[in-house]
Structure 1
Amino acid sequence: MKPETVYAYVSRGQLSSRRGPGARGSTFDPKEVQALARRNRREPTPATGANELSVRTRITLIDKDHYYFRGVDAAELALRHSYEEVAEWLWTGVLRPGIHFTPPPEPAGAARLAVRALPEHSGPTDRLRVAAIAAAAADPLRFDLSEQAVIGTARSLIPTLVAALPPLLPTHRDGGPLAGRLWGRLSGRKPDEASLHALDTALALLVDHDLAASTLAVRVAASARAHPYAAVSAGLGVLEGPLHGAASGLAHRMLLEVLDRGTAAPVVAGELRAGRRVPGLGHRVYPGEDPRARALFSLLETMPKAGPALAAARDVVATTARHTDLHANVDLALAVLTVSSSMAAEAGETVFAVARTAGWIAHALEEYEERPMRMRPVGQYTGVRPPQPLPDPAAPPGRHDVPAE
């Protein structure tokens, strides 16, 4: 590298230099040089279709009917370790048994106040998005994008999101594992040990799933060097779509109808007659069974009150299997958990959003190491070719888009 190139990096603030007493040249921090080299490294990427965007990641691999976090079987990891332990592993590559995330008082207080000001009909994603924005406003260090600062933000943001949600259990206390604190905001029923373990495992299973739509939005925001709170807000905005985070709510309502009618056949028929896919079945990346559903169903079988909802879910799968080879996905398993725990239909969306925040932070950390603003695809213009005349104010709408003959 030429000296003028090095000093160009210094002038842009991407590299800091030091000049010792009596020294003729400057010295540079080896860690900064290595970080700069990583950002500027050009590595070959796999061939993809003309309209596809490929992103290098070391976080999650999906292979056949399994998925892995940093090379470790993610389902096995979630079954053996808490959500907070899995999140920490995803961010740092270090497993810290017994770690709990606690919210700082000031950001948590700001988030609670902001959420309380929302209308009663506000959805779970509305509350979480507002909580993230309020917590960001209360954190003057949010623009520090160093690795340790971002991980510190993650450890405080996730419990702040949970703390901002209104509690449903009158005797609920904020303390202990995150799953226990979240339970008291999703159900008014006191949980048993098996139910809490199932919720904790559901959170750990949903931490990340490669480049889902919301995760891609987070990486785009991080590429523009948005701070972690803003990157998470971008993910929450995409998650609110009915084809992403809200899918478990559709499965929840379907299971309630099956339980009410006593059989899945008319419910499945109603979904198909309306031209809708049966909720909770099939997944685009798994030709067979969703490993997240498989792991969560194994725990739901140990929950004393999950029997009826489990039977309803199996009835849906068996009824649909007469005509198509679709397996249960994690949305159906999550719906069994929320139905059997006396939670609202939107509870699954909350679980999904809180869980996935850890994965979004992991992807933001990766993106902060890459070249800024690299997530900039080129549009394929399909409109009329210039030059066109200036639009006539008196012409009907769209008239100026029609080329003159």
Structure 2
Amino acid sequence: MEYLTVAETAERLGVKRETVYAYASRGLLTSVRGAQRRGSRFAQDEVEALAARGREAGAPSGTVERIRTRITLVSADGPWFRGVGAGGLARTSDLEGVAALLWETPGPVRFDADPALLAVARAVLAGAPDSARATDRFRLAVAAVAAADPLRADPRPGAVVATASTLLGTVVAALAGDAPPGTDLAGRLLPALRRDPRRTPDPALAGHVRAALVLLADHGLAASTVAARVAASTLADVHAVVSAGLGALDGPRHGLASGFAHRFLAGALDDPRGALAEWLRAGERVPGFGHAVYRGPDPRATVLLERLRADPAAAAAVACADAVAAGLGRGGDGPAPNVDLALAALMLAHDLRPDAGELLFACARTVGWVAHALEEYAEPGPRLRPTGVYTGPRPGSTSDASTTTLSV
């Protein structure tokens, strides 16, 4: 049986530690003391049952301060997908296997393209301007598939999984072209990532891409995932959920960050210390460093950079990243590398498109968004409506629009 600490129990129930002890004194929870660990512990099954009773005690209010989820734990060691470390999965699995884990399906998920939907997506992408970025094209393909899928609104878990797997497979085929049968999603995605799809890719590239997709599949309640869950809370279909996630992802503080890190790293390749000095003199935040969750290095970056260190093609890019990290780390309290820096090193080492990191993020995180949608669909009613604090003019004030003459 699994046990939770007092802190973990309080977080799971959304209460203070003192309340946990109060529950124990009232017999709502059973406190257990282990021989090897100090402090009280509580059976996870018992805690989950109490949490469920709390949810069922009243109708949904429409406002939540916490989103309880069983999908991903983000710890100092990095993300854990349903209790399995993402770092280990990046070394042994692929996105097909991670989708099965996050979506709770038996066996690896097949991301097969639907021929009819693929024809529609390709027709739409054919009209996209050459300046369209990877995420622009991804969004267009998702919208095209949605418009051509008459059964997309079915919220049953099995139907959601079928719709989502076909959606991602179709979008990747539309972006990257046809691939040999049996090729996994990482292999199929390669032509869309490379600057010159006609060149034969380095054999190591597919493995790096496979690992990156696993590491990026989910990261808890990041901004794009919250956006996706808000859409799912209204019973919006899978395509709309993914579109909502893409909208939040498409910002410089989220999914576009790897592109800025790539631009910086490419410019720093010949003189890392000099490039860093210029950024510091300008008072700019150095792209690819620092993370809101991790105080030290981003564990996802550590895993991906570890792979690149063993790749001769990445020697120059990794050396540049290390030199910049060493310069920022003087004094022991500088920002540490994050996953965007690792993606930038991968893009630089294998001559990928400057927006390849965006595409990796969008493909991988689609799997996470769908997992969160499945969880949100099971919740009672629309509930993700924050309470607003109005700070504007009040009715009857001198700035009331009804009594103020506006110049037009």
Tell me the TM-score normalised to structure 2 length: 0.80
Aligned partners of 2:340, 2:130: CA distance in 1, in Å? 26
Structure 2 partner of 1:245: 255
Structure 1 partner of 2:285: 277
Structure 2 partner of 1:318: 326
Structure 1 partner of 2:184: 177
Aligned partners of 2:94, 2:357: CA distance in 1, in Å? 18
Runs ≥4 residues deviating over 6 A: none
Distance apart, 1:273 and its partner CA: 2.8
Counterpart of 1:287 in structure 2: which amino acid? Answer: R
Q: The residue matched to 1:43 in structure 2 has which SS?
A: helix
Distance apart, 1:173 and its partner CA: 4.9
Aligned partners of 1:219, 1:363: CA distance in 2, in Å? 6
Among 187, 210, 214, the residue aligned to 1:200:
210
Distance apart, 1:43 and its partner CA: 3.5
The answer for unaligned runs of 5 or more in structure 2 is 1-48, 57-62
> Identity over aligned residues, as a percent?
47
Counterpart of 2:65 in structure 1: which amino acid? Answer: L
Aligned partners of 2:231, 2:53: CA distance in 1, in Å? 21
Distance 1:229 1:395, change over 3 A: closer
Q: The residue matched to 1:305 in structure 2 has which SS?
A: helix
Aligned partners of 1:336, 1:284: CA distance in 2, in Å? 21
Structure 2 partner of 1:53: 65
2:215 is the counterpart of 1:215: no
Q: Give the 5 Å matches for 1:284-323.
A: 284-322=292-330
Distance apart, 1:144 and its partner CA: 0.3
Tell me the TM-score normalised to structure 1 length: 0.81
Distance apart, 1:372 and its partner CA: 2.0
Residue pair 1:338, 1:344 contacting (<8 A) in 2 also = yes
2:235 is the counterpart of 1:225: yes
Aligned partners of 1:174, 1:234: CA distance in 2, in Å? 31
Residue pair 1:194, 1:302 contacting (<8 A) in 2 also = no
- What do residues 318-374 of structure 1 show as CA deviations (whole Å, max 9, x unaligned)? 111125422211111111111111112111111111110000000000000002210
Residue pair 2:120, 2:145 contacting (<8 A) in 1 also = yes
Q: Give the 5 Å matches for 1:2-401.
A: 42-43=54-55, 53-92=65-104, 94=106, 96=107, 99-165=109-175, 173=180, 176-187=183-194, 188=197, 189-259=199-269, 262-322=270-330, 324-388=333-397, 390-391=401-402, 394-396=405-407
Aligned partners of 1:247, 1:264: CA distance in 2, in Å? 19
Distance apart, 1:390 and its partner CA: 4.9
Q: The residue matched to 1:253 in structure 2 has which SS?
A: helix
Distance apart, 1:61 and its partner CA: 0.3
- What do residues 119-170 of structure 1 show as CA deviations (whole Å, max 9, x unaligned)? 1111111111111111011111101000000011111111122112155xxx
Counterpart of 1:281 in structure 2: which amino acid? Answer: F
Query: CA RMSD of the aligned region, Å?
Result: 2.4
The answer for unaligned runs of 5 or more in structure 1 is 1-36, 45-50, 398-405
Aligned partners of 1:288, 1:320: CA distance in 2, in Å? 13
Residue pair 1:65, 1:286 contacting (<8 A) in 2 also = no
Distance 1:137 1:147, change over 3 A: same
Aligned partners of 2:166, 2:215: CA distance in 1, in Å? 20
